[in-house]
Structure 1
Amino acid sequence: MSDTTGGSRLGEHAVYPGTFDPFTPGHLDIVERARHLFARITVLVAVNGDKHPAGTEAERATQLRRKLPAHWDDVSVTAWRGLTVAFCRQHGAGVIIRGVRNRADMSHECHLASMNEDLGITTLLLPARPRLVAISSTVVRGLDS
């Protein structure tokens, strides 16, 4: 399977889950890069019991859709309550995309990736670009306050 740039794609469908509270330039960069690796990306606006986002997952999904370029017809946004692996199985996604900014992220994401692999879904970790490493949803929320 080839993309429009002549390179090969890793697969048909990947899922990029997160709380996205808010969706940052770093998140947008991960989606942009993943678009070139997979034929279709679903940005999965999920619930995380450890976080208390400003809006519901449906509200965050609506806001996030507005931030994506209109011509990205290979990217969809969906709100989801449940395990990401369950969404992947139900919707034929073979890969979970996760971004990592630092060692703490890497340690956490490797642990999750291992569990997801045991459940039959591979995780692809994409490192943040150096100019975006310091940007997090927490930092962006602090700037908006």
Structure 2
Amino acid sequence: MKVAVYPGSFDPITNGHLDIIKRGAKVFDKIVVAVLINIDKKGLFTPDERVKLIEKAVCDMDNVEVVSFNGLLIDLLKERNSRVVLKGLRAVSDFEYEMQMALMNNKLDSEIETVFMMTAAENSFLSSSSVKQVAKFGGSIEGLVPDCIIEDVINQVKR
């Protein structure tokens, strides 16, 4: 079984993230969406809340699992019997950072491979940060995040 791990902060999940998950689920037998716990950052949503939002967005996808993790990505890959990291790329600027991470993961474990998927053109401008900013100032986030979590995001930024 080919399992790919798709790591990120997903704070919140965007339609760009969801597109990579859906496309990855067609290529791999299983996708493990791994929500990064970064203790140095205060997110809009807690890691557990992010897991629940992603689960809501992928509820119709049988081969997608959502987990949170803290620590080295290669340790999670071993736990999940995976040797593949799935990453989405929006622009050249993403590639530079993601290439460094891919090389570091491969240095830590030479069995690890990173597969990059280009974002769909309609999502190339999209980031969780921009979604939070639009929502915070009362703009419409329709079409930016999965419809099923729009209300969750709006309610969270109002707190």
- TM-score under structure 2 length normalisation: 0.80
Across the aligned residues of Structure 1 and Structure 2, the Cα RMSD in angstroms comes to 1.3
In structure 2, list runs of 5 or more residues that go unmatched.
137-159
Which residue of the partner structure matches residue 8 of structure 1?
Answer: none
Q: Which residue of 2 aligns with 1:129?
A: 120
Aligned residue number for residue 30 of structure 1:
20
- Pair 1:48–1:125, CA change in 2 (3 A): farther
Q: Which amino acid aligns with 2:135?
A: D
Partner Cα separation in structure 1 for residue 39 and residue 98 of structure 2: 17
Return the alpha-carbon distance in structure 2 between the equivalents of residues 71 and 139 of structure 1: 27
One-letter amino acid of the structure 1 residue matched with residue 127 of structure 2: S
| Residue 35 of structure 2: aligned partner | 45
Matches within 5 A, 1:47-66: 47-48=37-38, 51-66=41-56
Check 1:50–1:98 CA distance in 2 against 1; reply closer, same or farther (3 A cut): farther
CA deviation map 1:13-70 (0-9, x unaligned): 01000000010000000001101111000000112356431122112101111111x3
4+ long deviations beyond 6 Å: none
Paired positions, count: 134
Say yes or no: does 1:99 pair with 2:88.
yes
Partner of 1:110: 99
**CA distance in 2: counterparts of 1:47 and 1:71, whole angstroms:** 25
Q: In the alignment, is residue 75 of structure 1 matched against residue 64 of structure 2?
A: yes
Flag structure 1 segments of 5+ consecutive residues without an equivalent: 1-10
Residues 89, 79 of structure 1: CA spacing in aligned structure 2 closer, same or farther, 3 A cutoff? same
Deviates more, 1:128-137 or 1:54-63: 54-63
Does structure 1 conserve the Cα–Cα contact (< 8 Å) formed by 2:7 and 2:34? Answer: yes
Per-residue CA deviation, residues 72-93 of structure 1 (Å, 9 max, x unaligned), is 1100100111111110011101
Aligned-residue identity in percent: 33
Between the aligned partners of 1:102 and 1:47, the Cα distance in structure 2 is 25
Paired residue secondary structure (1:36): helix
- Relative to its length, the structure with more helix (as a share) is 2
